[in-house]
Structure 1
Amino acid sequence: MNNFIGRIDTYFDGCLNLMYLDLSSNKFTGNIWTGFSRLVEFSVSENRVSGLIPASSFSDNCNLKGLDLSVNMFHGEVPREISNCKKLVMLNLWGNKFSGPIPSELGSISTLEGLLLGNNEFSRVIPESLLYLNNLAVLDLSYNNFGGRLQEIFGRFRQLKSLVLQGNSYIDGLSSSGIHKLTNISRLDLSYNNFSGHLPAEFSEMVGLKFLILAYNQFTGPIPPQYGDLLQLQALDLSFNRLIRSIPPSIGSLRSLLWLMLANNSLTGEIPGELGNCSSLLWLNLANNQLSGRFPPELANIGRNPTLTFESNRRSNVMIAGPSDCLVTKRLLTMDYSPFGFIYTILTRKICKNVWDQLLQGYGFFQVCVKGSPVRKYRVSGYLQLSGNQLTGEVPSDIGKMQHFSVLHLSYNQFNGELPVEIGNLPLVVLNISWNKFSGQIPREIGNLNCLLNLDLSHNNFSGIFPTNLNCLNELSKFNISFNPQIAGQIPNIGQLATFEEESYLGNPLLHSRLLKLQDPTVPPLNSGKQALPGEEESEDGFWWKALLMEYGCGMAFGMVMLCICVVKVQPKWVVNNVEGLHQLKAVRPWKKNGSRGGGRTI
């Protein structure tokens, strides 16, 4: 990724021996260089190149195997002459303003394996000729606003391994299209549409499915227990729908599952302990539902051994990745804070593909603390997100087993009891247990979490002495212990804890600081003595303020009285002259107004 600027339309005409040209992720403008068809691979993705694609760009002797024009500002129709590129393997036109029909001539390029046409304005008719592309593995038609019912032709693409149709405003047609009969498919993305009704149980017939993405729709009813038959499934994203009832225990049969995303539904009941059988499950998000009951001790077993899944992915062929993969990556790493937040600021498509591949193959892209070792290591690390539910009871000490998790988010529940000291054994980067009913002392073991960046213990019932060893958490950038009114002690005057504002400590009347003013206007002050009765003396500061105001008030009143006496008795010359002049001015003004109305004459 660079920031090169300027035009490219004639720049490379003299490079007759050039075969591979990658200009992606810059700021080039103007029209496209029309000589690209003599290359083997050409990419100008993620720039600002615009205009039409001339038909003459695709010469009869086109040598292209890879053409990537994605994320620019091209418009108009795609020339049918593109079929001259008989060696083309990957065609990526994603993220432009192409319109009109999808060229049926694409069906004659028998070598085509990846066709990425998403985020354009193509008409909704899918050419029948594409069905004969026997090597076609990836078809991305996302964000073309097709609308209506899902086209029935999609159920006939038996050769596909990945079908991405997100963001098309579909409302129906999942069953009638026969899409569930695509038994070779490993990835199906129908997110960001308007599908409604029950989730199709027939999806369980897609035995090769690894990624099922149905988020951001309007599905209702329960999660089909048949989804537990998708034994190769690695990601199940049903978040942001209207699903009800409990999580099926059969999901615990999915030993290869890495992601389970069920957030923002209306799921009820207890978290099934069978989820603990998901030995590869590293990213679990059940936030913002109506789940109740306890934290099952078996849940601490998730993600205990994802090695088999990672090794399987390392042996698999790498699938062609497009911009839609970046959208999925962002959603599955759904964190607004470290360690995943930095991805959003640097995420070009190439970086996104690299991050995605590393995750799937079990290679970490950030360092985490390892128990018993002062050296940090690059490891894949997951998250547990249970916030915004109605979970109760104590967090079990088994939570100390979750050695592959760096983010623990339990906020906005009704957990109670003491926080287990075993939590200090985890390689945590984020710990948020705010808005619960935890009590007892804050475990000193939290001070051993050397990689911790975000610690939120606010709005609980913790008591005892404030653990000053938290001051050793030198990388802490967010800290909140507010509204734990039974915590007592002194906030250190130096060190990491001294760098936070008073908002981090509000609502703790027994907590003191020499640097911060901790009086919270929402919490009444505690009086050291008896309550002051009406008429009794107030504080010294209040007395002096009132005395000062009384002095100024009396002085102004006395001055006004003396001025009146002086004017009435003595009648100074300057006062008389000003008053007489004012009366004369009032006497003249009516005559001027009358004179103007009578023809403009003034007297």
Structure 2
Amino acid sequence: MEPLHLEHQVVVPLVEMKLTTLSLLAFKSMISDDPQGVLDSWNTSFHFCQWEGVTCGHQHRRVTVLDLRLKALTGSISPYIGNLSFLQRISLSHNFLQVGKIPLELTYLSKLEMLIIHYNNLTQGIPPSIGNLTSLLGLCDPFFHLQSFLTYNVGSKWKSVSRNSSIRHRLHSSIPSLQVLDVWGNRLSGPIPLSIANASQLSRLVIDSNNFTGQVSVNFRNLEQLSYVELGDNSLGTGKYGDLSFLSSLANCSSLPILEQSINNFGGPLPNFVANLSSQLTSYKIAENQVSGSIPLGIANLAGLTILAMDGNHLTGRIPLKIGNLHRLQRVALNYNLQPTRRRYSTLSRKPFSFLNELHLENNTLEGTIPPSLGNCKLLVLLNLSHNNLNGTIPSQLFGASALSNSLNLAPSLLSGSLPSEISHLITLGELDVSNNELSGVIPSSLGSCTGLEWLNMGGNFYQGSILSSLSSLKGVQNLDLSRNDLSGDIPDFFGKAFVEASKPKL
């Protein structure tokens, strides 16, 4: 007779089963409203492993997962949950849990790996001892209103405390295991802790949307694993020379693709050693700061760049010709820079950006003519050169950028001549603004080929003649401005419901 093979299963002692049952029922008792009835199955008629939202291990039949997210539960978290010693994941997000704090007893759950409790209203904070959960990989609590401090423990690898308020914090002097530090959307203040430099395994640093201040004094030289640095939307920097010297210590971060410094108070020139940043850097944003001086030539060494955003600063000088060598660039934003009161004008470089999708150069003091080579940007969907001092004619080659589908804005400036007939190539263009220039002649009939137009502004020029019937094909135009020209005749009725502004005495 063959021996009988039984599947190995750990027998849970009766006392432990009873304790688990009572602990879960205690959790239920602190839920004051359960509109979906998800806790109706939580009764002694069923084994707790059959209760909704409860998952047990296949062998030991202990509770390993408590998942009650998106159940519209109102109440507070019971401290008796700390008796569920085999819990690995707690997910209580998107409920209305409130009044109390996260129970201290949760810190007894030595096997806990994930604590997901965002979109609630816990008001008294995370206990600092939660840092003792050495198995914890994820702590996700965005949109809480916590008012405590958080201690980052040596053993944890992943910490996220997004969207809290009034959190005081401290970092242990030795945090070598920390891989992700994400504290975006809090009200953390003061300087960035120097001890971050000890997190030698750190790959992601996200501290944006806080109130951090002062110069960045962290030495990033030992953080060679960094792949994402997000410092935006704080008050970092002093607005003076030397604010950006910390960038030199990022040169060792050879795998860094994302560097975000926008919306701060960084001042002084952008140092040329920015050229030493990772060749894998794909996105560099330092918009809305106090950066002054010229764009360093070394930025052309960042061959992997796809996004360069330096808008809203005090940059001066020419746009370096070598930037055109950054063949992977998809978006360039240098708008809102040079102050016209300083009379430090720039000249638009004449080398094309071959793979651009967007080029923002508005609100500068650019002089000279529009480079015909911009027409070589075959992937360009948006070009904004508005509010500059450009002169000369609009080059017909510009309309070789047949992918222009979002917007072409050349207003206001000092452009003269006529609108080239090659405008007909831009059949999918949505917005065209050439207003407040010195354009003259008749409105070209070829404009009727731009059937994708929804916004057309040609006001404030010297156009003459009548509005041609060929424009009847522009059936999608919702806003049309032809005011302040020398047009004559009637306003055609084929524009339908389009909003038309016309110069009253001359049309």
Report the TM-score, using the length of structure 1 for normalisation: 0.60
Report what 2:347 is aligned to.
none
By how many angstroms is 1:115 displaced? Answer: 1.3
Paired AA for residue 461 in structure 2: N
- Cross-structure match for 1:329: none
Structure 1 distance, partners of 2:486, 2:68, is: 62
C-alpha separation in 1, matches of 2:268 and 2:475: 44
- Alignment check: 8 A CA contact 1:19 1:40 kept: no
| Map of 2:139 onto structure 1 | 115
Q: Which amino acid is 1:505 matched to?
A: L
**Per-residue CA shift, 1:296-323, capped at 9, x if unaligned?**
44334435279xxxxxxxxxxxxxxxxx
> Of 459, 462, 466, which residue of structure 2 is paired with 1:485?
462
- Tell whether the 8 Å contact from 1:388 to 1:413 is kept in structure 2 after alignment: yes
After superposition, residues 220-239 of structure 1 pair within 5 angstroms as 220-222=239-241, 224=244, 227=247, 229=251, 230-239=253-262
Deviation track 1:4-27 (CA, whole Å, cap 9, x = no partner) reads x952442564795589899xxxxx
User: Quick check: 1:400–1:425 contact (8 Å CA) kept in 2?
Assistant: yes
| C-alpha contact (below 8 Å) 2:112/2:135 kept by paired residues | yes
SS of the residue 2:259 aligns to? strand
1:131 alignment partner in structure 2: 153
Matching of residue 158 in structure 1 with residue 176 in structure 2: yes
Aligned length: 428
SS at match of 2:299: helix
Q: Name the one with the larger helix percent.
A: 1
Residue 312 of structure 2 is matched in structure 1 by: 288
* In 1: Cα distance, 2:173 partner to 2:371 partner: 47
CA drift at 1:407: 3.3
SS of 2:149's equivalent in the other structure is: coil
Give the letter aligned to residue 270 of structure 2: I
User: Residue 10 of structure 1 aligns with which residue?
Assistant: 39
Gap runs ≥5 in structure 2: 1-33, 56-61, 334-353
Greater radius of gyration (CA): 1
Shift of 1:450: 4.3
Cα 1:448/1:526, change in 2 over 3 Å? closer
Alignment partner, residue 195 of structure 2: 178
Match of 1:168 in 2: 186
> What SS is found at the alignment partner of 1:110?
coil
Q: How does 1:548-559 map to 2 (within 5 A)?
A: none
- Measured in 2, the distance between the counterparts of 1:470 and 1:281 equals 36
Q: How does 1:138-537 map to 2 (within 5 A)?
A: 138-146=159-167, 151-153=169-171, 156-174=174-192, 177-200=194-217, 202-203=219-220, 206-218=223-235, 219=237, 220-222=239-241, 224=244, 227=247, 229=251, 230-254=253-277, 255-302=279-326, 304=328, 382-403=357-378, 405-420=380-395, 421-422=397-398, 424-425=400-401, 427-431=403-407, 432-486=409-463, 490=467, 492-496=470-474, 499-502=477-480, 504-510=481-487, 513-515=491-493, 518-520=501-503, 525=505
2:39 is matched by which residue type in structure 1?
T
The answer to whether the 8 A contact 1:447-1:469 is kept is yes
SS at match of 2:84: coil
Per-residue CA deviation, residues 391-449 of structure 1 (Å, 9 max, x unaligned), is 33334344345455533333333333444424532633433333333444434444434
Distance, in Å, in 1 between the alignment partners of 2:433 and 2:95 is 39
- Report the Cα distance in structure 1 between the residues aligned to 2:309 and 2:485, rounded to whole angstroms: 32
Instruction: Tell me if structure 1 keeps the 8 A contact 2:76–2:97.
Output: no
CA contact (8 A) 2:285 2:308 kept: yes
* Superposition RMSD in Å: 4.1
Match in the other structure for 2:349: none
Task: Kindly state the Cα deviation for residue 52 of structure 1 after the two structures are TM-superposed.
Answer: 0.7
TM-score normalised per structure 2: 0.70
Deviates more, 1:473-482 or 1:380-389: 380-389
Identity %: 22
For residues 47-62 of structure 1, what are the structure 2 equivalents within 5 Å?
48-57=72-81, 60=84, 62=86
1:250-273 C-alpha deviation (Å, 9 max, x unpaired): 334443223222222233333345
Query: Do the aligned partners of 1:300 and 1:401 also contact (CA within 8 Å) in 2?
Result: no
Q: Residue 265 and residue 107 in structure 1: after superposition, are their counterparts in 2 closer, same or farther (change >3 A)?
A: closer
Write the distance in 1 (CA, Å) between the matches of 2:180 and 2:226. 9
Structure 1 regions of 5+ residues with no counterpart? 23-36, 307-331, 335-370, 372-379, 528-603
Instruction: Report how far residue 155 of structure 1 moved.
Output: 5.3
Structure 2 residue identity aligned to 1:428:
L
CA distance in 2 between counterparts of 1:410 and 1:41 reads 56
1:149-207 CA-partner distances (Å, limit 9, x unpaired): xx4416543322221223433442325x4223433222222223333333437345533
How far 1:239 sits from its partner (Å)? 2.0
Q: Is the 8 A contact 1:289 1:388 kept in 2?
A: no
The Cα shift of 1:76 comes to 1.4
Structure 2: distance between partners of 1:141 and 1:178: 20
Structure 2 CA distance for partners of 1:401 and 1:161, relative to 1, 3 Å:
farther
Q: Alpha-carbon deviation of 1:116? A: 1.9
- Corresponding residue for residue 77 of structure 1: 101
2:69 to 31, 40, 44: 44
- For residues 51-96 of structure 1, the C-alpha deviation after alignment (integer angstroms, 9 at most, x for no partner) is 2122345652644436251575544111234346554332222343
